[in-house]
Structure 1
Amino acid sequence: MPIVRKPFAGAACLLALAAAPLAAAPATATPPSAAVRPAAVCEGWKNAGSVPLEWSKVSDGCGHFGANGMKMSYAWKVYRGGSVCVRAKGFDARRKEFWSAPLCSKNGRVEVAWGNVAASKEILVKGGPSLLRWN
């Protein structure tokens, strides 16, 4: 086989080889089923932790749609360690972010206003070294 010294000949061969597996896939390939996908991260309890003397911010990373007059509920349960202080993010009627007053205990629940916004739920956690679950 002769060696080709044209600058783009090698690149064209590499592109053709890279595209070959894509062309070989059948046109009727089915997308992965819901059973194969991981569980939804926006449902259920999330893990968090606190470190002494500083506020740690934790987000659920999901979009929650609000409306004027709507309330968003937050709950937490410490499963290892002592009491923690929790502040929850909310939004007023003007869509301005605010944080609730700190509530300190091993478990609790708070509701905050959630104005006409789409945002992630977030909490600020402070306390001794503790592990908790929240939603």
Structure 2
Amino acid sequence: MDMSRKTVAGVVSLIALAALGTAVNPASAGRPAQAPAAAPGAAADSCVGWKNAGSAPLKWTKASDACGHFGAEGMKMGYAWKVYRGGSICIRAKGFDARRKEFWSDPLCGKSGSLKIHWGNVAATKEIQVKGGPSLLRWN
């Protein structure tokens, strides 16, 4: 079969136009649609592992992990911290009482530490308040 270049160019143009009109990529036609891959450091990754925070002199500074944590009746949420630059700091951690009302723990001070605090049957983000000299820390 002998086709001219104009005919082939016209057929290719029609196929491309049809693909654009139906929002189908000709290269992926016939393959199932896939969700775009999450970029490194996307939200799902930020909910795992240690978070960075800092403290300023004489002021409570708040830090949140920006991730939802689901609790259950009688559950306790764990918090831990470690200063990697600077001196000792004081930490207060967010928790929830039996009525699901938010409260802050008594301050714990030092260069590192951990605590478990009542969380209860709520879904919320973990938060800490930090006070001390200028310091940088990691917490989870």
Change (3 A) 1:84 1:21: farther
Measured in 2, the distance between the counterparts of 1:93 and 1:58 equals 24
Identify the residue that residue 65 of structure 1 maps to in structure 2: 70
What amino acid maps onto 1:51 in structure 2? Answer: A
Mark the structure with the bigger radius of gyration. 2
Equivalent residue of 1:53, what SS?
A: coil
Identify the residue that residue 138 of structure 2 maps to in structure 1: 133
Q: Which runs of 5+ in 1 are unaligned?
A: 1-19
Match of 1:38 among 41, 59, 62: 41
Measured in 1, the distance between the counterparts of 2:135 and 2:119 equals 28
Measured in 2, the distance between the counterparts of 1:30 and 1:67 equals 35
Task: Please identify which structure carries the higher helix content.
Answer: 2
CA RMSD of aligned residues (A): 2.3
Aligned structure 1 segments of 4 or more residues deviating by more than 6 angstroms: none
How many residues are treated as equivalent by the alignment? Answer: 117
Measured in 2, the distance between the counterparts of 1:112 and 1:71 equals 5
What's the TM-score, normalizing by structure 2? 0.75
Q: Which runs of 5+ in 2 are unaligned?
A: 1-19
What's the TM-score, normalizing by structure 1? 0.78
